[in-house]
C-alpha cells in the first residue's frame, strides 16, 4: 500500500534533515583533518563555546569563522578572507577552502608576523611570546570604552554571542535581569555583544516569552574582540557582565562601582586546573565587584560552602528564576498508544552535563524493565549526539536547536525526565519539566541535596548508576500515579512571575546592598 501524501512529505523532510546532518558532520571532519583546528585552543580562547557544550569544530563551522574566531594559532580566517577576495566572494568557510584548495595553491593561512607557526614555501615564521599571550587572553582583554559624561543612565548587558538556540538559558536570564534593572533605574537598555552583532529581535523574543514589559529606549552594539570600537560609558551607567571573562574584560577599563556580575554557575567547573581556571578564580574572588546570583541554592554554596567567595554576603544578593513561558501543568494520561513520554537532557559535549552516566542509567533501566520499551517514547534533547539504538531496538527521538515555543510545547508533553548536571546550581531543565507537570530525576551535588523546595515531583539522587536507576524506578511510579503527581504539580513553588522574585534583589544590590537578606 502506497504511503499517503502527508507521510511521504514527512519522510522526505526527515531524509533531508538526516542528509544535512551527515553533510555537516563530513565538513566537521574536514576541519579537524586540516591540522589547523585545535579543540583545546578554541575552547580556551572562547569560554562561551566551552560553556555551551556544542562541539567546538561544529561551532567554528556554523558561527566561529563568521565571527572572526581563530581555529588555532596557525590560521586567521579574517586575514584569509581579506587577503583572497575570490574566496570571500564565495561566502564559504575559509578554513575549508584552505584545507581543500588553498594549501595546494600556496596561499598563506596567516599574515607575516602572525601568531603561531605559519608554514611558508621555504621557511617557518615563529610568533613572539607576547603575541601568543595576547591571542590566548583576547577574550578577556580590557574592554575599549570612552567616558560620555553627558549620556543618560544606561544598563549595558555585556555578553558574547546571541545565538538562537542559547537564548533561553543564561543569556535569556541576563536579558530579563538587564531589562528589569533598566526599568528600576529609569535607564536606557543596551545589548552589547562581543563576537557577533546582536539580533534586536532576540531581545524582544525573550522578553515577550518571559512576560517582561519593556518600552524604554534600547541600543544594540557590537564590540568586536581586538577591535578599536569603544563602548560609551556614562557616569551613572551599570554594566551587567554575564561571565567571568566579560567581568574580567570590564574590570580592565570600567570602575568597579559600575559593574554588576550576573553569576549563574560555578564557572570554575568549566575548566580543569590550569590557566583558565586560575583566571576564573581570581575574577570570582574580586572583593569589590557586586554579584547577583541565580538561586539561593547557588548563593549559599558560594557564601558558606567549601569553595566560598570572599565578602559575598556584603557585595552580593540572589533571586529565584521564574518560568512564565512554560505551560502550566494539566492532568493528563498517556498518549493514544498507551505510552508515556520520557525526556533525557543529553549534551555529550558539555563539560557539566553528566551525559554518559545518564546513558548508562537509561540503558540499565531499560534492560531491567523499569523503562520498558513498550511503555515509553524516548526523547533525547541535545546536540552532537551519536546515532544509537537503545535496548529493545528503541531509537530515541532527538531534538535540538528548538525555538522556545517548540521547546515549551515538547516539555508540556513529557511525563518523566532525567536531567543531570555536575553543578551546585539546580539548572533550568528540571525546573522546566516540573513546571509543566512532569516528574524529574536529577542528581545531587555538594550542598545540592534536594529540589523539593521547588516541587515534590523532582527526585534528587547521587549520580551513581544504581541510585539513578532507583530514582528512575521511583519516577516511573510517581509519573503513573496521576492523582499524586497532579497534586504535587498544583502545589509546586516554582515562580511564574519575575517581578516579585527579581525586583527586591535588584533594589538591594543596585542601591541599598544586601543587609536585609544577609542578616
Is the pLDDT at 438 greater than 90, yes or no? yes
Tell me whether residue 515 is in a domain: no
Residue 125: pLDDT band with limits 50, 70, 90:
low
Check if the beta carbon of residue 39 is closer than 8 Å to that of residue 56.
yes
Q: Which of 110, 136, 162 finishes a domain?
A: 136
- Domain interval for residue 108: 5-136
Is the pLDDT at 447 greater than 80, yes or no? yes
SS3 label, residue 285 = coil
Residues 148 and 288 in one domain: yes
Residues 315 and 191 in one domain: yes
Tell me whether residue 417 is in a domain: yes
Tell me whether residue 477 is in a domain: yes
SS3 label, residue 502 = helix
Residues 351 and 436 in one domain: yes
Percent residues over pLDDT 70 in the chain: 88
Residue 517: pLDDT band with limits 50, 70, 90:
very low
Tell me whether residue 286 is in a domain: yes
Q: Which of 393, 399, 334 is nearest to 366 (CA)?
A: 393
Residues 54 and 114 in one domain: yes
Check if the beta carbon of residue 457 is closer than 8 Å to that of residue 438.
yes
Helix (H) or strand (E) holding 302: helix 296-304
Residues 219 and 278 in one domain: yes
**510 vs 456: CA distance, rounded Å:** 34
Q: Which of 136, 164, 180 finishes a domain?
A: 136
Q: Which residue has the cell 558539555?
A: 350
Residues 478 and 374 in one domain: yes
Helix (H) or strand (E) holding 170: helix 170-185
Query: What is the pLDDT of the chain when averaged over all its residues?
Result: 86
The predicted pLDDT at position 121 comes to 39
CATH of the domain at 483: 3.40.50.2000
Tell me whether residue 331 is in a domain: no
Is the pLDDT at 459 greater than 90, yes or no? yes
Residues 129 and 164 in one domain: no
Which set of grid coordinates corresponds to residue 162?
A: 546571541
Alpha-carbon torsion, ordered 385, 391, 394, 400, to 10 deg: -20
Residues 391 and 470 in one domain: yes
CATH of the domain at 264: 3.40.50.11090
CB atoms within 10 A of CB 201: 10
The predicted pLDDT at position 164 comes to 58
Residues 372 and 415 in one domain: yes
Tell me whether residue 121 is in a domain: yes
Tell me whether residue 258 is in a domain: yes
Residues 252 and 117 in one domain: no
Alpha helices for 34-128 (secondary structure H): 39-45, 47-52, 56-59, 77-83, 85-90, 94-97
Residues 256 and 295 in one domain: yes
SS3 label, residue 164 = helix
Indicate the number of domains in the chain. Answer: 3
Q: Which of 254, 259, 217, 249 is nearest to 233 (CA)?
A: 254
Rounded mean pLDDT of 399-425? 91
The predicted pLDDT at position 116 comes to 42
Q: Which of 136, 152, 168 finishes a domain?
A: 136
The predicted pLDDT at position 360 comes to 98
Residues 165 and 105 in one domain: no
DSSP-derived secondary structure letter, 394:
B
Check if the beta carbon of residue 139 is closer than 8 Å to that of residue 47.
yes
Pairing of strands 397-399, 154-159: unpaired
Tell me whether residue 333 is in a domain: no
**174 vs 398: CA distance, rounded Å:** 28
Check if the beta carbon of residue 142 is closer than 8 Å to that of residue 257.
no
Amino acid at each position: 500500500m502506497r504511503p499517503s501524501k502527508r507521510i511521504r512529505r514527512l519522510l522526505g523532510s526527515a531524509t533531508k534533515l538526516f542528509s544535512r546532518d551527515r553533510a555537516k558532520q563530513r565538513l566537521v571532519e574536514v576541519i579537524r583533518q586540516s591540522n589547523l583546528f585545535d579543540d583545546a585552543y578554541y575552547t580556551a580562547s572562547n569560554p562561551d563555546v566551552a560553556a555551551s557544550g556544542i562541539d567546538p569544530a561544529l561551532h567554528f563551522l556554523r558561527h566561529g569563522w563568521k565571527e572572526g574566531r581563530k581555529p588555532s594559532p596557525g590560521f586567521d580566517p579574517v586575514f584569509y578572507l581579506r587577503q583572497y577576495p575570490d574566496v570571500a566572494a564565495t561566502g564559504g568557510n575559509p578554513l575549508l577552502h584552505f584545507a581543500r584548495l588553498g594549501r595546494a595553491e600556496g596561499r598563506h593561512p596567516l599574515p607575516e608576523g602572525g601568531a603561531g607557526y605559519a608554514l611558508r614555501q621555504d621557511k617557518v615564521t615563529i610568533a613572539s611570546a607576547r603575541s601568543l599571550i595576547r591571542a590566548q587572553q583576547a577574550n578577556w582583554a580590557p574592554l575599549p570604552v570612552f567616558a560620555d559624561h553627558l549620556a543618560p543612565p544606561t544598563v549595558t548587558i555585556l555578553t558574547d554571542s546571541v545565538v538562537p538556540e542559547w537564548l533561553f538559558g543564561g543569556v535569556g536570564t541576563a536579558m530579563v535581569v538587564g531589562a528589569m534593572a533598566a526599568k528600576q533605574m529609569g535607564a536606557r537598555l543596551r545589548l552589547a555583544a562581543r563576537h557577533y552583532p546582536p539580533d534586536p529581535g532576540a531581545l524582544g523574543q525573550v522578553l515577550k516569552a518571559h512576560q517582561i514589559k519593556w518600552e524604554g529606549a534600547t541600543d544594540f552594539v557590537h564590540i568586536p574582540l581586538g577591535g578599536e570600537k569603544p563602548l560609551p560609558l556614562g557616569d551613572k551607567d551599570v554594566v551587567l557582565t554575564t561571565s567571568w571573562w566579560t567581568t574580567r574584560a570590564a574590570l580592565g577599563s570600567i570602575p568597579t562601582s559600575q559593574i554588576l556580575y550576573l553569576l549563574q554557575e560555578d564557572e570554575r567547573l568549566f575548566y580543569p586546573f590550569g590557566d583558565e581556571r586560575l583566571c576564573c578564580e581570581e575574577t570570582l574572588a574580586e572583593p569589590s565587584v557586586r554579584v547577583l546570583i541565580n538561586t539561593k541554592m547557588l548563593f549559599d554554596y558560594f557564601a558558606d560552602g567549601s569553595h566560598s567567595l570572599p565578602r559575598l554576603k556584603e557585595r552580593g544578593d540572589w533571586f529565584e528564576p521564574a518560568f512564565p513561558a512554560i505551560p502550566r501543568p494539566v492532568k493528563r494520561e498517556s498518549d493514544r498508544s498507551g505510552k508515556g513520554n520520557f525526556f533525557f537532557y543529553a549534551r555529550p559535549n558539555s563539560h557539566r552535563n553528566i551525559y554518559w552516566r545518564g546513558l548508562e542509567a537509561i540503558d540499565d533501566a531499560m534492560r531491567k524493565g523499569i523503562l520498558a520499551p513498550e511503555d515509553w517514547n524516548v526523547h533525547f534533547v541535545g546536540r552532537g549526539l551519536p546515532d544509537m539504538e537503545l535496548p529493545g531496538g528503541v531509537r530515541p527521538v532527538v531534538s535540538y536547536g528548538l525555538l522556545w515555543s517548540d521547546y515549551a510545547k515538547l516539555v508540556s508533553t513529557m511525563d518523566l525526565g532525567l536531567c543531570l548536571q555536575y553543578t551546585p546550581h539546580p539548572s533550568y531543565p528540571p525546573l522546566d519539566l516540573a513546571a509543566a507537570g512532569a516528574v524529574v530525576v536529577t542528581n545531587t551535588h555538594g550542598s545540592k541535596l534536594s529540589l523539593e523546595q521547588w516541587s515534590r515531583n523532582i527526585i534528587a539522587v547521587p549520580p551513581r548508576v544504581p541510585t539513578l536507576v532507583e530514582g528512575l524506578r521511583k519516577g516511573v511510579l510517581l509519573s503513573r500515579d496521576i492523582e499524586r503527581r497532579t497534586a504535587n504539580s498544583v502545589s509546586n513553588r516554582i515562580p511564574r512571575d519575575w517581578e516579585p522574585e527579581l525586583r527586591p534583589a535588584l533594589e538591594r544590590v543596585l542601591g541599598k546592598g544586601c543587609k536585609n537578606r544577609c542578616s
